[in-house]
Amino acid sequence: MSENKIFTAGDNNPKTRSDCFVSLELHNSGGLKIELKSKVKGLYGDSIIKLCKEELTFFGIENAVLKITDTGALDFTIAARIEAVIKQAIDTDKDFLLDILEENKYSTEKDQFRFSRLYLPGNSPKMMLNAGVHKPNGIILDLEDSVAPSKKQEARFLVRNALRSITFYGAERMVRINQLPDGLKDIKYLVPHYVNLLLIPKCESAEQILQVDKEVAEQKKLCGFNYPIYYMPILENALGIENAFKIANASENVVAMAIGLEDFTADLGVRRTKDGKESLFARMRMVNACKAAGIQPIDSVFSDVGDEAGLRKTVSESKMLGFEGIGCIHPRQIAPIHESFAPDEIEIEKAKKIIRAFNDAKEKGLGVISIGTKMIDPPVVKRAEKIIHLALELGLLSKTWLFEEI
């Protein structure tokens, strides 16, 4: 125990909302003293102080001064900030966990749609609170690039608590861990808190996936949980692209693979452009590796939030190249991404004709499927089935379409 040293965590900017700044000073006597500064002290002061005392007592701290400057933080944030300062002050393996929302205890499917994934800084609770209402396919709580090195440990507690306490409205709950080997330290904060998918940044070898696999398995064994946790490696340099197929096949838990073009173009020593000619080879090579491995290829983020026309054009090109999703950094990008990846009326009508022809040939016992004079191969039927499934999921096609008159 370190007496007279002051430990701090959180955001000390008075303009920041939904966060708090916490300081802790341990003493040998004097009991617990909690000083709370908050605009909502009159309404919620007693419950905040009760939470503070409960957490300090849980960790066996009997004599200390805890100061909190609150700017509207919810319990999961306050608890995370307090735990961060306590674990700077004392050595303990205990974890202070608030009750997990029952609605957060869900798993996701290996092949579900991942058109959009919304990045949120892992140390900024304000941005986490209502992200799910925008209906992205996935919400990424980021522990890597968006978190300052000095705040990495604080962010781990906050992300863990967010997984337990925030409603994500059914979005796939993703976390981008840190670049390995540091990212292996993140995993114990994510299992068993119903994280659905881990993004593995700057991935360049199958061995890195195996390291993550091993750590996830060990944490699952320790906590007795056995729900699926999927992986999305992010290829961000030339070596990663060269090893794309091996990475894609490294584990059955790899369900998608993304490309990070900012770092990739920097690794090549070229400037990233909107037309993307400098990265076309890498993108196509990654798409091919994903298709060969049976997983989803995901394109890089589109960083110009104000350019909706450019976003739609990029998504259209991504779809044409075989990508099945793209990253976004602002909620306003979600709707254009979903609309652009959705099948259009021409695609849907063509798929309907193929499925009808397939069913008709099957009923007649024919080994050959055709529409007019054009032969239809099994891969074409499979693609048509995927388009129909997507149209049904997005509400673009009636569930009774097959029985409707042509």
Q: Is residue 132 part of a domain?
A: yes
Asked if 19 and 11 count as a contact pair (C-beta separation under 8 A), the reply is yes
Look at residue 107 and tell me whether its pLDDT is greater than 60: yes
Look at residue 49 and tell me whether its pLDDT is greater than 90: yes
pLDDT at position 134, please? 92
Cβ count within 10 A of residue 28: 9
CA nearest to 21, candidates 33, 2, 37, 40: 37
Q: Strands 64-70 and 32-38, how do they pair?
A: parallel
Q: How confident is the model at residue 2 (pLDDT cuts 50, 70, 90)?
A: low
Q: Is residue 125 part of a domain?
A: yes
Q: What's the rounded mean pLDDT across residues 61-78?
A: 96
Domain check: are 353 and 335 in the same one? no
pLDDT at position 228, please? 95
**pLDDT tens digits, one per residue of 220-270:** 999 998 899 999 999 999 999 999 999 999 999 999 999 999 999 999 999
Output phi, psi for 62, to 5 deg: -110, -25
The rounded percent of the chain whose pLDDT value lies above 90 is 77
pLDDT at position 362, please? 78
Q: Is residue 95 part of a domain?
A: no
pLDDT at position 90, please? 96
Which of 315, 341, 367 terminates a domain? The answer is 341
Domain check: are 206 and 285 in the same one? yes
Domain check: are 260 and 292 in the same one? yes
pLDDT at position 58, please? 97
Asked if 327 and 117 count as a contact pair (C-beta separation under 8 A), the reply is yes
Cβ count within 10 A of residue 362: 11
Q: How does the average pLDDT of the chain come out, rounded?
A: 93
pLDDT at position 367, please? 66
The rounded percent of the chain whose pLDDT value lies above 70 is 98
The rounded Cα 183 to chain-centroid distance in angstroms is 15
* DSSP helix/strand/coil, 378: helix
Q: How confident is the model at residue 3 (pLDDT cuts 50, 70, 90)?
A: low
Rg of the chain over all Cα atoms, to the nearest angstrom: 25
Domain check: are 57 and 196 in the same one? no
Q: Is residue 378 part of a domain?
A: yes
CATH number for the domain that contains residue 323: 3.20.20.60
Domain check: are 64 and 129 in the same one? no
Look at residue 87 and tell me whether its pLDDT is greater than 90: yes
In sequence order, what are the beta bridge partners of 328? 118
How far from 297 is each of 70, 167, 230, 233, CA to CA, in Å?
42, 27, 14, 10
Q: Is residue 123 part of a domain?
A: yes
Tokens of 285: 């090579």
Domain check: are 140 and 80 in the same one? no
**pLDDT tens digits, one per residue of 143-185:** 999 999 999 999 999 999 999 999 999 999 999 999 999 999 9
Domain check: are 382 and 324 in the same one? no
**pLDDT tens digits, one per residue of 345-357:** 898 988 888 888 8
* DSSP helix/strand/coil, 403: helix
Domain check: are 242 and 364 in the same one? no
Q: Is residue 249 part of a domain?
A: yes
Domain check: are 278 and 159 in the same one? yes
The rounded Cα 132 to chain-centroid distance in angstroms is 12
Domain check: are 174 and 205 in the same one? yes
Domain check: are 390 and 254 in the same one? no
Q: Which residue range is the domain that position 137 belongs to?
A: 102-341
Look at residue 403 and tell me whether its pLDDT is greater than 70: yes
Q: What's the rounded mean pLDDT across residues 389-394?
A: 83
Q: Is residue 1 part of a domain?
A: no
Q: How confident is the model at residue 394 (pLDDT cuts 50, 70, 90)?
A: confident
**pLDDT tens digits, one per residue of 14-26:** 899 999 999 999 9
CATH number for the domain that contains residue 77: 3.30.230
Give Cβ neighbours of residue 12 (< 8 Å, ≥ 6 apart): 21, 69
**pLDDT tens digits, one per residue of 292-338:** 999 999 999 998 999 999 999 999 999 999 999 999 999 999 999 99
Which of 89, 112, 130 terminates a domain? The answer is 89
* DSSP helix/strand/coil, 117: strand
Share of the chain residues as helix, strand and coil, in percent rounded to the nearest 5 = 45, 15, 40
Which of 89, 123, 156 terminates a domain? The answer is 89
**pLDDT tens digits, one per residue of 271-299:** 998 888 999 999 999 999 999 999 999 99
Q: Is residue 97 part of a domain?
A: no
Domain check: are 305 and 372 in the same one? no
Instruction: Specify the number of domains making up the chain.
Output: 3
